[in-house]
A = this chain, B = another copy of it.
Amino acid sequence: MEELKYHYKYPHPSVTTDCVIFGFDGTKLNVLLVERGVEPYKGRWAFPGGFLRMDESAEEGARRELREETGLETAYIKQFHTFSDPERDPRERVITIAYYALVRQRHVQGGDDAARAAWFALDEVPALAFDHDLILRTALNALRHQIHFEPVGFELLPEKFTIKELQHLYEAILDVKFDRRNFYKKMLHYELITQVPEASREEAHRETFLFKFNKEKYDELKQKGFKLEF
């Protein structure tokens, strides 16, 4: 028999945080999912999440979940919506404060945890547990809006990257296609990226410049209230 130590005059909902973890593999945008080992929705995939502790804020809770799942101590995370449908959890009333995280996918190896975890491309995500389908759609929408005001995309790339990779990232997030040459000039024009001395070769037929994000320029532009056009 469970011990029910906490007493209230009125009923209280449970509060959880869920974390939609976005990663980028150079071509496609992916999300990290964990397979549920217990009922309800046992065997279905879901976003990492769990109950909020009484001494932590929602962001601290989301960071804790992220750390437990990926081992990452620092990452960009952002609260985007709170889901509160009374029927969203069949067991009891659970409200979840949802965050999305942007991580460098190469730094995270999915699947080596006790719980099964894996990366899924956006167009290959299976039917999810609870209302997590809705949570994913909402997260994507929030990310697409945010990327017009803040260059959050850089959080998903390695420190040094080619413009081609940057373009693929924007195309994956916004689900559009850009002209290679115009994208090139636009990015250089904003001066949000700086060329680094080295050049990468990889599989290219020609040497490729590498760039890094120019945080100083970003802070300067942010001061003036800029907007990224796409």
Contact = CB atoms under 8 A, between A and B. Distances in A.
Interface of A: 2-15, 51-52, 54-59, 79, 81-82, 84-86, 93, 95, 97, 145, 148-149, 227
A226 B7 CA distance: 51
A202 B85 CA distance: 47
Copies of this chain held together in the complex:
2
Contact of A97 (B55, B59, B84): B84
Contact of A9 (B5, B57, B84): B5
Contacts of A54: 11, 13, 86, 93
A87 to B, nearest CB: 9
Contacts of A52: 13, 84, 95
A81 B52 CA distance: 17
B97 A85 contact: no
Contact of A85 (B7, B15, B57, B149): B57
B79 A57 contact: no
A51 B10 CA distance: 10
A86 B55 contact: yes
Contacts of A55: 86
Contact of A15 (B3, B81, B95): B95
A58 B82 CA distance: 9
A4 B9 contact: yes
A222 to B, nearest CB: 13
A103 to B, nearest CB: 22
B85 A82 contact: no
Among A5, A12, A59, max chain B CB count under 10 A is at: A12
A82 B52 CA distance: 13
A52 B7 CA distance: 18
10 contacts: A4-B9, A8-B12, A10-B51, A12-B12, A12-B14, A54-B93, A58-B84, A58-B95, A84-B97, A145-B145
A148 to B, nearest CB: 8
A12 B4 CA distance: 12
B3 A6 contact: no
B12 A3 contact: no
Given A4-B9, A57-B84, A145-B149, 9 more contacts: A2-B9, A4-B7, A5-B8, A6-B12, A12-B13, A12-B15, A54-B93, A82-B82, A145-B145
